[in-house]
Each structure stands twice: as structure tokens, then as C-alpha cells.
Amino acid sequence: MSKLGNIGARLYRGEVGYDFIGKRKIWYGVSILITITAIVGLAVSGLNKGIEFSGGAVFTTPKTSVSVTQAEHMAESVSGGHQAVVQKLGGGALRIQISDLDTKQSVPVQEKLAEELKVPAKDINTQLVGPSWGEQIADKAWQGLAVFMLLVVLYLAVAFEWRMALAALIALIHDITITVGIYALVGFEVSPGTVIGLLTILGYSLYDTVVVFDSLKEASKDLTKQTRFTYSEVANRSINSTLVRSINTTVVALLPVAGLLFVGGGVLGAGMLNDISLALFVGLAAGAYSSIFIATPLVADFKEREPQMKALAKRVLAKRAAAAAKGAAQEESPEAVPVGADDVDAGDGAAVVGPRAASRNRGRGRPSGKRR
């Protein structure tokens, strides 16, 4: 831990660092590749919409020894071929979702399921969900997402500047696209828990981004009045100074979410935990990535196009080139040597003297102070 703290302190002071901005084209390429993969997975596989969005019936059974695969075949058989999704709940209970069932169809399906599972029909809890209700949930989710995006852009534009707001918006779209694409590829069911998870990760995704932006805002004050660093270099120092903090907060946030995903969802078989935890896990990881490799490099690209930043970059490079030329000239020139009487230019009577000669001639023409 002490070594990690030392590294963090050195990163904060700028003593060490990684050139994130200089290699931004690599990160852009990786992000584009992942985003394209997510979009292709979404287009090919599509989202596995839950009963809340597609409409149908949900049957919750008491404890039974029937496996998930057997229950799926039973449910599809007794429902006349309707698609069924079965999840194992705690205590051996089953949650059976059958899409496109109305009220009249649900009663006979419930009785047939009770016969197949060998449990009393009254012990099976039945819930009906209409497709219109699911559409309302989807509409509300899209409205909430749009309002959130608008408020984020307005806040960042006021608190920082519009370039940072635009970069943060692109990073958010990047995170949501990857999360939704992972859902399509994995085949997890999209439920209201998924929507909650997606809306939650937006705040987490912005957290690290705002931290880096705040550091960059402070470091770039009066930047054009100096000639030591360009805007991209200051942005890179801001990323490095907050890198350890971003890693720590992300790891601390991912650990309990991983517990929900792998322990709660995998071991206990809790479906709702799967829906929420997968969205949180993927979104948190994507948000940490985008804050470092996407948002801040985009800000640097936007700012470097400004005329004053272009002029600053020219001044910085010119100063460095002059310093390099001066250093090369000093290395090539001979070292200064003591100058004696042979170095006196007889034409003008002036002597070009070095430091030692000057100190040697300093006392000439004056009384030495010694008694004769």
C-alpha cells in the first residue's frame, strides 16, 4: 500500500506519468472496435425483453425438484408454444415467464403447470402484465435518459465549458452503447432492474470524468501566459494526477457489484440481481475507461483546434527547439581556458580575458599594501 501511495504521489507531482493523450488514437480505435461489436451484437441478437416490456404472465411456483430446462419445456407445452423463460429462485422455487398470455389464457395454463409440477394450483402465484404497461415503462426510461443527458450537458457547460460537456456526452453514449451491447451478446433479460442499472451507471460514469475535468480546469488557468506546456500536456498531467484515485474508486465500487453479479445472481439464482448487477458492472468498468481514455483526450483534441492554443503550441515548440539548439552549441564549443599575455589583441590594446586572467590582473596597478 505504501508503494501504491508513493506512486500516486509521484503521479500527482508529475514526476512520472503515462502519455495517455499522445496515444489517444489507439484508445479511439479500441473504443470504436468495441462499440461496433456491441452494435452488431445488438442488431443480430437483439435484446431479450422481459415480461414487463413484452407483456404476458409470470408464475411463481413453490419449492419443486423440477429443473429449469424441464420447466421451460413444460411451460411452452402447456401454453401452446409461447416462449417461456424460467429462473431458479431461492429455496427451490421457480419463476416462469410466458410471453403473450392474456387473462383468459393464464388460468388454464396455471392449472396445467400445477399438474405438471405436481403442486397445488392455489400455491402458484400468477401476475399478468399487459404490453401497454411495458411500453409506458420504456417511454419513461427514454424520457429519463434524455432529461438526464440534457441536464448533464447544461451543468458541465456552465461549470466547465461546452467542449468538456460535449466530450462527457460522447463518453456517456459510449458507455451506454457498450452496456446495452453486452446485454444483447450475453442474452440477459432486460427488465425494469436493467433500466435502473443503466440510469445508475450514468452518474458513476460521470464521477471520474468530472474529477479529471476539475483538475484540468485548475491546471489550465492562465495557460497561454506560459511557454512550458501545451494544453495536451497539461491534460495528460491531469489524468496522471487523478489516475490512482480513479482506479481506487472504481475497484471499490466494482467489488460489491461483482458480489451481486457472481454470488447473488449465480449462486442464489436471483434474477433481479442479475439484471441490475450486470448493468452496473459493465457500466462502471466502461465509465472508468471512458473517463481516462475517451473524455479527456477528446477535450484535448477540441481545445488544440483553438487559435490561441495553436499559437501556444508553436511558442512551446519554438522555445524547446531554441533550448535544444543552444544545448547542442554548448556541447560542440570548446571549454574556456585561462588567458595570459599571449591572448592580448595588440591592435586595440584590449585583452580578452577569462575568469582566471581577470582575477589574476585584478590587483595590478594598485599598491599591494606591503611595506618595502
Going through 67-180 in order, the beta strands assigned E by DSSP cover 84-88, 94-99, 125-129
How much is the pLDDT for 164?
A: 93
CA distances from 179 to 173, 279, 287, 332 (A): 10, 6, 10, 59
| 272 vs 103, residue with greater confidence | 103
Average pLDDT over residues 101-115: 82
349 pLDDT band, cuts 50/70/90, is very low
Spatial distance between the Cα atoms of 364 and 357, rounded to a whole number of angstroms:
12
Q: Where are the domains of the chain?
A: 2-49+133-314, 56-129
Nearest Cα neighbor of 240 from 13, 6, 1, 5 is 13
CB 47 within 8 A of CB 138: no
> Each residue of 188-224: pLDDT tens digit?
777 777 887 887 887 777 888 888 899 899 888 888 8
Burial class of residue 228, CB neighbours in 10 A (0-12, 13-18, 19+) = exposed
Highest-confidence segment of 78-87, 116-125, 347-356:
116-125
For 87, phi then psi, to 5°, come to -125, 140
- pTM of the predicted model, to two decimals? 0.71
How much is the pLDDT for 234?
A: 92
Average pLDDT over residues 230-245: 88
Domains 2-49+133-314 and 56-129 share a fold: no
How much is the pLDDT for 366?
A: 46
How much is the pLDDT for 267?
A: 57
Going through the chain in order, the beta strands assigned E by DSSP cover 48-49, 56-60, 84-88, 94-99, 125-129, 189-190
Residue 182 amino acid letter: I
Q: What is the CATH number of domain 2-49+133-314?
A: 1.20.1640.10
How much is the pLDDT for 361?
A: 45
CB 22 within 8 A of CB 252: no
How much is the pLDDT for 365?
A: 46
Look at 197-206, 248-257, 270-279, 308-317 and tell me which has the smallest mean pLDDT.
Answer: 270-279
Spatial distance between the Cα atoms of 106 and 114, rounded to a whole number of angstroms:
12
Residue 147 amino acid letter: V
Domain covering 56-129 assigned CATH 3.30.70.3400 in the classification? yes
Average pLDDT over residues 111-139: 80
